[in-house]
Structure 1
């Protein structure tokens, strides 16, 4: 396995997509196709492991192994063995965004597992924009429409649209500050190997593109689409993002898609009921502290509020698993990987 960015070939991507279609049951599984993400394909177990390297000794895995339920433990063992086979001390593995059904895989292998946040999903068969629950969404959408915002689905390969989306990205990064860098592991991306699978809806105002949202496919028991990457110009009128998402949501409903997933919010929905046996008490306290007071560390409350105002029908805990217990350096690399610091 290489230590640098993953070298992606069309054949490798096609096989990865095939494995995800067959085995993935995680709402954010398409993130395993990001261009800078490594993908280990099983030799003895049919499936793949998505991961990135951090520092000299740390590996951060995205979700649990993507394999049939009966094969996930075997694939995890195979991957751990592969990591341990290199020269020097074996890397330490931290698995982020592990679903509840896979917590036992890591606990059985001596990992310390804690809830890290929650993921949200909308059942499109039951969704309606009417009623009190969606009042704030309707208010913002109507305001954007009065201001003249329109939404279209676009081909991200169109050169003209691509230039406009590049300009939005540049504005967004500039507004965040010169030290902010784009993440490429636990959030979506424009372009990359998964580009042909993604859909992009953009907002226009006064003849200019002022924002966009990309959506990635979701496979498994709750198939549909993942609200993936959002970018908004500082000039975009209030309600632009809500109008884009409501437009896309309506399109997905018309097409018969079962679910729209809103993705993980770290530090949100933390609850003692979700903590597995053997969870680190210190880690639990630290995560709750960030959830309550860590606006400068990560905007968990604002992200959670945005997702909750869509009245999601499913809110599920997600977990982080530390090989050998919670230690400062792996925790640091996890926070850097998730963009929390």
Structure 2
């Protein structure tokens, strides 16, 4: 009895062999037929197209078999059965016998090891796959009706059953029969039905192999447990966003820890480092890796710090710098001297406008009027943004369940609230990060700087050690880096600022003169990220996807073009 590791290696070898055979069939189908293959010219064109289609599907499925997806296994079994049937029907031709024998070998092998292919597929995607399979079958039925009609015309003295016509229609789809009697028009129509059916089959296969994770409903006890872990172990300023409702929670089995994640297609996206005691981190990370492996998902961790970077590398993860966090040591932070000149100027501007800053002690006494003002400011702020409100990496105002959040707001000389900032804790409540920052249309200049400065002074008086403004995405990257991913991110930072405002955000944080710029990283598995993984991190932050960034780019491009034209005139 072979052990699991050797069994896995054997399965991978057979899968690679199947992939090579499929690639060979696909390539050979484009070469001119030899003399001995000219005997089957009666169905060469559709037959060759079917060979290409089957081999191309098999190549796709081999990649999914490596991930042990059950649906991929099921489809491969069906294709191998069809190939065996095609071989038996075309037994007079050596190539068909060879394909049938080879298909029988792979069929028996995968049938024997069927228990290893257990990763489930998305239920939603399965429904879409079934829909496309039904559409392909409709193509078969159309062709069957066509066959029935023309076979009756062509075989006047012989009875024709619809079953024979249906078999003829199925044969057309899988390249196992001659063309219908009829003129050029009917042959064109038959080809159209043929390609329509195969397009539906391709779409069905792609949907069917999408992976699936059981999304457990968040229980109040799980959220409270995660909150306890955060207040004990969180070293990453983004950690507190674990408690936001857009995150699923992964808890360790052998160690006490939590990981917040979301899922986009076959990529699991994690926000920040896993949260646990330092000595438990290797085990928790290993459990997350195995979780992704069992469910056939890739893994992408956003905004990881360098605290666990060596362990990520040790466990085979790839990584790249993705920005810098503006952090403040509150004991040392001051705005005196030349370095704090801009901050003093902005704060003085706000003070001269009559602005005052207060903390909203929401856990002591709720004030509906203040909360209504927060809602109004949020609406005004969103209307002035370049794009949609980002999710997943940013928290919510969270007034309905604030937990450990802190709220500071600014009022103008008339007593109207014009801006507010929501702070979330990290470093075991020994640090606070400015997570949600909002200002209204009539906020005076310098108001956000004033709120931050006053909030930091309050935290400092309470003995809190750190303040943070969060990560400036894509800031501080090396354009000459040997890492192609880092060079790609540099290109985005330098040329796609209109889509998000990376440079603007970096400048906004820089004027606060932080004590330290802490590097932030993307960490991913496999160690070479694929394009769909980058799509996943865009999609999870903005459900409207790339189109929202394109719209923002075009909107700002038109606006800047008008400004340029006006200035030129």
Which residue does 1:293 correspond to in 2?
Answer: 495
Which residue does 2:337 correspond to in 1?
Answer: 131
- Contact kept in structure 1, 2:239 and 2:273, CA below 8 Å: no
Which residue does 1:329 correspond to in 2?
Answer: 532
Structure 1 residues 140-289: aligned runs within 5 Å = 140-156=346-362, 157-176=366-385, 180-191=387-398, 195-205=402-412, 206-220=414-428, 223-271=430-478, 281-289=483-491
Look up the SS of the partner of 1:176 in the other structure: coil
Which residue does 1:13 correspond to in 2?
Answer: 223
Which of 26, 29, 32 is equivalent to 2:236? 26
Which residue does 1:60 correspond to in 2?
Answer: 269
In 2, Cα distance between the equivalents of 1:26 and 1:116? 15
Shift of 1:319: 0.7
Structure 1 residues 192 and 208 mapped into 2: Cα distance closer, same or farther (>3 Å)?
closer
Q: More helix by proportion, 1 or 2?
A: 2
- Contact kept in structure 2, 1:120 and 1:307, CA below 8 Å: yes
- The structure whose Rg is larger is 2
- Contact kept in structure 1, 2:241 and 2:394, CA below 8 Å: yes
- Contact kept in structure 1, 2:328 and 2:466, CA below 8 Å: yes
Structure 1 residues 28 and 194 mapped into 2: Cα distance closer, same or farther (>3 Å)?
farther
Structure 1 residues 100 and 193 mapped into 2: Cα distance closer, same or farther (>3 Å)?
farther
Q: Does 1:82 align with 2:291?
A: yes
In 2, Cα distance between the equivalents of 1:192 and 1:333? 29
Shift of 1:53: 1.2
Deviation digits for residues 21-69 of structure 1, max 9, x if unmatched? 2222212221111121111111112111111112x21111112221222
Deviation digits for residues 195-240 of structure 1, max 9, x if unmatched? 12011111122332211001111125x9221111101112211111
Which residue does 1:70 correspond to in 2?
Answer: 279
Look up the SS of the partner of 1:297 in the other structure: helix
Deviation digits for residues 234-269 of structure 1, max 9, x if unmatched? 221111111111111121122221111111111011
Which residue does 1:36 correspond to in 2?
Answer: 246
Say what the alpha-carbon RMSD is for the aligned residues: 2.4
Structure 1 residues 107 and 297 mapped into 2: Cα distance closer, same or farther (>3 Å)?
farther
Look up the SS of the partner of 2:500 in the other structure: coil
Look up the SS of the partner of 2:509 in the other structure: helix
Q: TM-score, normalised by structure 1?
A: 0.88
Q: More strand by proportion, 1 or 2?
A: 1
Runs of 4+ with >4 A deviation: 1-4, 338-341
Shift of 1:106: 2.9
Look up the SS of the partner of 1:197 in the other structure: coil
Shift of 1:272: 7.7
Which residue does 1:111 correspond to in 2?
Answer: 317
Structure 1 residues 194 and 49 mapped into 2: Cα distance closer, same or farther (>3 Å)?
farther
In 2, Cα distance between the equivalents of 1:144 and 1:192? 26
Structure 1 residues 309 and 195 mapped into 2: Cα distance closer, same or farther (>3 Å)?
same
In 2, Cα distance between the equivalents of 1:146 and 1:3? 56
In 2, Cα distance between the equivalents of 1:114 and 1:338? 19
Look up the SS of the partner of 1:286 in the other structure: helix
Shift of 1:19: 1.2
Which range is displaced more, 131-140 or 327-336?
Answer: 327-336
Which range is displaced more, 134-143 or 298-307?
Answer: 298-307
Q: Does 1:47 align with 2:257?
A: yes
In 1, Cα distance between the equivalents of 2:399 and 2:409? 19
Look up the SS of the partner of 2:382 in the other structure: helix
Q: TM-score, normalised by structure 2?
A: 0.54
Please list every run of 5 or more consecutive structure 1 residues that lacks an aligned counterpart in the other structure.
Answer: none
Which residue does 2:557 correspond to in 1?
Answer: none
Which range is displaced more, 26-35 or 210-219?
Answer: 26-35
Structure 1 residues 53 and 193 mapped into 2: Cα distance closer, same or farther (>3 Å)?
farther
Look up the SS of the partner of 1:64 in the other structure: coil
Structure 1 residues 3 and 53 mapped into 2: Cα distance closer, same or farther (>3 Å)?
farther
Deviation digits for residues 65-108 of structure 1, max 9, x if unmatched? 2122222121122122223334xxx1111111111132233333
Which residue does 2:511 correspond to in 1?
Answer: 309
Look up the SS of the partner of 1:310 in the other structure: coil
Structure 1 residues 192 and 141 mapped into 2: Cα distance closer, same or farther (>3 Å)?
closer
In 1, Cα distance between the equivalents of 2:307 and 2:426? 17
